[in-house]
Structure 1
Amino acid sequence: MTDTPVRLLNLLSLLQTPREWPGSELAERLSVSPRTIRRDIDRLRELGYPVEATLGSVGGYRLVAGTAMPPLLLDDEEAVAIAVGLRAGAGHAIEGIEEASVRALAKLEQVLPTRLRHRVSTLQNATIPLTRGDGATVTPATLTTLAGAVTGHERLRFGYRAGDGTETKRLVEPHRLVSTERRWYLVAYDLGREDWRTFRVDRVSEPLATGARFTPRELPSGDAATYTARSMARAQGELDLDVEFAAPVEFVVARLPAHLVPTPVGPDRCRLRARVADSVEWLALRLAMMDVDFTVHGPLPLITHIRTLTTRLSTSTP
Structure 2
Amino acid sequence: MTTDLPARMLRLLSLLQTRREWSGTELAERLGVTTRTIRRDIDRLRDLGYPVDGTTGHTGGYRLASGTAMPPLILDDDEATAVAVALRTAAGNLTGMEETALRALAKLEQVLPRRLRAQVTALQQATATIEWARRVPRVDPTLLTALAAACRDHETVTFDYLTSSGAQASRRVEPHHLVASGGLWYLLAHDTDKDDWRVYRIDRIAHPAPTRRHFAPRSVPNGDPAAYVAEKIATAPARHRAIATVHAPADTIRRRTWALAGRIQPIDANTCTVDCSSNSLPGIAQTLAALDTDYTLDADQEVTAYLRKTTERTTRALDR
Q: Percent identity?
A: 25
Write the letter of the residue equivalent to 2:254: V
Q: Decide whether aligned partners of structure 1 residues 117 and 236 sit closer, same or farther in structure 2, where only a CA change above 3 A counts.
A: same
Given that 2:88 and 2:101 are in contact with CA atoms closer than 8 Å, whether structure 1 keeps it comes out as no
Normalised to the residue count of structure 2, the TM-score between the two structures is 0.52
**Could you tell me whether the CA contact under 8 Å between 2:249 and 2:271 is conserved in 1?**
no
Q: 1:92-149, CA deviations, whole angstroms, 9 ceiling, x for partnerless residues?
A: 9xxxxxxxxxxxxxxxxxxx999528989xxxxxx9953646x633345434543443
Q: 1:6 to 1:226 in 2, by over 3 A?
A: closer
Paired with 1:79 and 1:273, the residues of 2 have a C-alpha distance of 41
- Tell me the equivalent position of 1:153: 154
Q: Which residue of 1 aligns with 2:299?
A: 299
Which residue number in structure 2 is paired with residue 236 of structure 1?
A: 238
The answer to whether the Cα contact below 8 Å between 2:242 and 2:284 also exists between their aligned partners in 1 is: no
Structure 1 distance, partners of 2:178, 2:14, is 38
Structure 1 CA distance, aligned partners of 2:102 and 2:9? 22
| 2:205 equivalent in structure 1 | 204
Which deviations, in whole Å up to 9, do the C-alpha atoms of 1:251-304 show, x marking residues without a partner? 3232342214454767xxx332255652443222123245x2332332254444
Query: Does structure 1 residue 79 correspond to structure 2 residue 83?
Result: yes
Alignment partners' CA distance in 2, 1:207 and 1:45: 48
SS, match of residue 174 in structure 2: strand
CA distance in 1, matches of 2:234, 2:264: 19
Shift of 1:308: 1.9
Structure 2 counterpart of 1:116 = 104
SS at match of 2:76: coil
Give the counterpart letter for 1:307 in structure 2. Answer: R
Q: Provide the C-alpha distance between the structure 2 equivalents of 1:234 and 1:249, rounded to a whole number of angstroms.
A: 21
Q: Residue in 2 aligned with 1:287?
A: 288
**Of 1, 5, 8, which residue of structure 1 is paired with 2:11?**
8
Matching residue's letter, 1:81: V
2-structure distance, mates of 1:271, 1:85: 39
Q: Distance in 1 between matches of 2:232 and 2:81?
A: 43
Taking the aligned partners of 2:294 and 2:275, their CA distance within structure 1 comes to 18
Long gaps (5+) in structure 2 = 16-28, 34-73, 95-99, 109-128
Shift, 1:81, TM fit? 2.8
Measure, in 2, the Cα distance between the counterparts of 1:84 and 1:178: 21
Give the match's secondary structure for 1:172.
strand
What count of residue pairs does the alignment treat as equivalent? 233
Distance 2:268 2:244 in 1: 13
Q: Secondary structure at the match of 2:260?
A: coil
Give 1:244 deviation, angstroms.
1.8
Q: Which amino acid aligns with 1:177?
A: L
Alpha-carbon deviations, 1:47-67, whole Å to 9, x = none?
xxxxxxxxxxxxxxxxxxxxx
Secondary structure (helix, strand or coil) at the match of 1:285 reads helix
Distance in 2 (alpha carbons) for counterparts of 1:261 and 1:239: 15
Retained in 2: the 8 A contact 1:260–1:272?
no
Aligned to 2:296, the other structure's residue is in SS state strand
3-state DSSP class of the match of 1:173?
A: strand
Q: In the alignment, which residue of structure 2 is the partner of 1:216?
A: 217
1:178 is displaced (CA, Å) by 4.2
Find out whether 1:130 has 2:132 as its counterpart: yes
Tell me how far 1:215 sits from its aligned partner: 0.7
Asked if structure 1 preserves the Cα contact closer than 8 Å seen for 2:179 and 2:188, the reply is yes
RMSD over aligned Cα atoms: 4.8
Give 1:84 deviation, angstroms. Answer: 3.5
Q: Distance in 1 between matches of 2:208 and 2:130?
A: 23
Q: What secondary structure is seen at the aligned counterpart in 2 of 1:236? A: coil
Give the 3 Å change call, closer, same or farther, for CA 77–273 of structure 1 in structure 2.
closer
| Contact 2:276-2:284 at 8 Å conserved across structures | no
Aligned equivalents of 2:252 and 2:178: distance in 1?
A: 30
Post-superposition offset of 1:5: 3.5
**Cα distance, 1:237–1:205 mapped onto 2, change above 3 Å:** same
Q: Find the aligned partners of 1:172 and 1:80 in 2 and give their Cα distance.
A: 35
Can you give the 5+ residue segments of structure 1 that lack an aligned partner in the other structure?
13-41, 47-70, 93-111, 121-126
| CA distance in 1 between partners of 2:268 and 2:217 (Å) | 45
Instruction: Look up the SS of the partner of 2:137 in the other structure.
Output: coil
Matched with 1:259 is 262
- Structure 1 residue 312 and structure 2 residue 313: aligned? yes
Do the aligned residues in 2 keep the contact of 1:157 with 1:170 (CA within 8 Å)? yes
Equivalents in 1 of 2:185, 2:156: separation in Å?
A: 19
Q: Distance in 1 between matches of 2:183 and 2:5?
A: 54
